[in-house]
Amino acid sequence: MSVAIVWFRRDLRLADNPALCAAAASSDQVLALYIHAPGEETPWQPGAATRWWLHHALAALDASLRARGGALLIKRGDSSECLREALAESGATSLHWNRRYEPAVIARDQRIKETMRERGVDAHSHNALLLVEPWTVATQQDAPYRVFTPFWRNAAQRAHQHLPSAVPQSLRLLAAPSMPGRHTCTLDQLGLLPSIAWDAAFPTLWQPGEAGAQARLADFLDDSVDGYAAARDQPDHAGTSRLSPYLATGELSPRQILAAIHDRDAEGPGFSARAQAYVRQLGWREFCYHLLFHFPQTTVQNLNRRFDSFPWADPDATLLRAWQQGRTGIPLVDAGMRELWHTGWMHNRVRMVVGSLLTKNLRYHWQHGARWFWDTLLDADLANNTQGWQWIAGTGADAAPYFRVFNPVLQGERFDPSGHYVRRHVPELARVPDRYIHQPWSMSPIEQAECGIAGTPYARPLIDLAASRDAALLAYQSIRQLPD
């Protein structure tokens, strides 16, 4: 009986899982393994929100493996040692995993693949995460893309090359070994759940796991994908897909999403016209991975090195805390930051607004924002997080120009005109009339007292939007003359 190990990582699903397919096709039995080794991902170890999601996604994966007569073997420790232990326990001679693209993980996986092959283990990696892997497209000068539109013009043509695969028919799972090695542990022993109950609302809002992903995808296709272009910018509408946490942990693949859209619309080859606006967003995710792979230092360094001499402000601990906790006194910003804290997610339009405030009005280095999002977002994804923050800070590829400073008042009035979103997350503003909901400080002191915001930051925000905007433009001018 030949045994193959599938090393699960950010691909916590059974369907459309190339490593699982390859293992099932090439051996009699398959052992499912997960290794907890956060230190190997330094400096971007999984954040608290990611760990919460991982815990539940792993539980769901284990349950569906058990329903098929197997189980998820969980180990903790050095990945290489854990793999060696699992190979010895199971007598496996081959090893399959799906690729990740974070710089630290690429380096680790490369070492592991070499040492495994030296030991005679048949080690293979596969693509489960992307439509177009970063090295498969290049400009005519054979360079990596730095602008989204030409990247996607090229990549979109290749996005349909691989169809998603079903759970392999021939899959025979191995139950957990009877004599577990010293690295083996239970899911609970990984300690992924937070010690403080900040995650109280998460279970009512999210259903991690492959089944939850399929349910969310089905709802999105039924309810929102056609109206996506119009509704996606309004944070009080459920007009976005909310698939991002599933994509980040791999309970769902972009191939599956494209295929589901295609099946529903039953059109010819190419993208469904109705879903075009949404598919373009998947394209941005591909672009972020392209950039992360070709410019791996950008997780901690400006892509546009001209910004290395930019005069970022020295963060004030109180102000940074107020931004994190949603206490700046600016309604749309506070609503977004509180949505993030309470739900583990933030609407994309609002992400841009809070990011602009931090990097432009406050002029704090984008790393401060990237770190906070990394810890609190259930959909934290190193490629998206890095490029998103560099984009809004103006330091990235195809970035928002330095002079593009979002005005949270105008953004609020445009995209949340009735203030539903702001009131949902900032209850202090419940009685502020629509007309002033995005700038309650413009009310007279009497009006402020009447709706209960006198003496709060909403009567006097911690940040002067107009003055800080002027200061930001001045600071950005200081690096304007420098070469790229």
Partner DNA sequence: TGAAATGTTGGGGCG
Partner DNA sequence: ACGCCCCAACATTTC
Residue with Cβ nearer DNA (401 or 483):
401
Q: Are the CB atoms for 19 and 96 separated by under 8 Å? A: yes
Residue with Cβ nearer DNA (76 or 469):
469
Residue with Cβ nearer DNA (148 or 271):
148
Alpha-carbon torsion, ordered 71, 201, 76, 292, to 10 deg: 100
Q: Are the CB atoms for 411 and 353 separated by under 8 Å? A: yes
Q: Which of 236, 447, 223 is nearest to 347 (CA)?
A: 236
Site string for DNA, 270-289 (x = CB under 7 A): -----------x--x-----
Distance (Å, whole) CA 95 – CA 32: 10
The first and second tokens of residue 176, run together, are 């957990």
Question: Which residues on adjacent β-strands are paired with residue 35?
Answer: 75
Residue with Cβ nearer DNA (133 or 413):
413
Looking only at residues 42 through 81 of this chain, which bind DNA when binding is defined by CB under 7 A?
A: none
CB of 233 to DNA, least distance (A): 7
The first and second tokens of residue 475, run together, are 């600071």
Report if residue 405 touches DNA, rule: CB under 7 A: yes
Question: Which residues on adjacent β-strands are paired with residue 6?
Answer: 32, 96
Report if residue 152 touches DNA, rule: CB under 7 A: no
Residue with Cβ nearer DNA (125 or 387):
387
Residue 467, C-beta contacts closer than 8 angstroms, at least 6 positions apart? none
Residue 197, C-beta contacts closer than 8 angstroms, at least 6 positions apart? none
Task: Point out which span in 193-201, 203-211, 374-382, 396-404 binds DNA (CB under 7 A).
Answer: 396-404
Looking only at residues 284 through 313 of this chain, which bind DNA when binding is defined by CB under 7 A?
A: 284
Rg (C-alpha) for the chain, rounded Å, is: 24
Looking only at residues 330 through 359 of this chain, which bind DNA when binding is defined by CB under 7 A?
A: 348-349, 352
- For DNA, the binding residue among 111, 117, 404, 431 (CB under 7 A) is 404
Residue 367 host element (H or E): helix 366-376
Looking only at residues 453 through 482 of this chain, which bind DNA when binding is defined by CB under 7 A?
A: 465-466, 469, 473, 477
CB of 348 to DNA, least distance (A): 6
CB of 246 to DNA, least distance (A): 19
CB of 405 to DNA, least distance (A): 6
Residue with Cβ nearer DNA (309 or 478):
478
Residue with Cβ nearer DNA (333 or 400):
400
Edge-to-edge strands of the sheet including 29-36?
72-76, 29-36, 3-8, 94-98, 122-126
Residue with Cβ nearer DNA (185 or 231):
231
Alpha-carbon torsion, ordered 156, 162, 166, 170, to 10 deg: -160
Task: Point out which span in 73-81, 236-244, 400-408, 416-424 binds DNA (CB under 7 A).
Answer: 400-408
Q: Name the one residue in this structure whose structure tokens are 């591909």.
A: 286
- For DNA, the binding residue among 406, 421, 436, 458 (CB under 7 A) is 406
What is the size of the binding site for DNA (CB under 7 A)?
A: 21
Q: Are the CB atoms for 213 and 243 separated by under 8 Å? A: yes
Distance (Å, whole) CA 165 – CA 167: 7
Residue with Cβ nearer DNA (111 or 414):
414
Strands 94-98 and 3-8: parallel
- For DNA, the binding residue among 403, 433, 434, 442 (CB under 7 A) is 403
Task: Point out which span in 91-99, 154-162, 179-187, 398-406 binds DNA (CB under 7 A).
Answer: 398-406
Residue 273, C-beta contacts closer than 8 angstroms, at least 6 positions apart? 267
Residues that bind DNA in the complex, under the rule CB under 7 A: 148, 281, 284, 348-349, 352, 400-401, 403-407, 410-411, 414, 465-466, 469, 473, 477
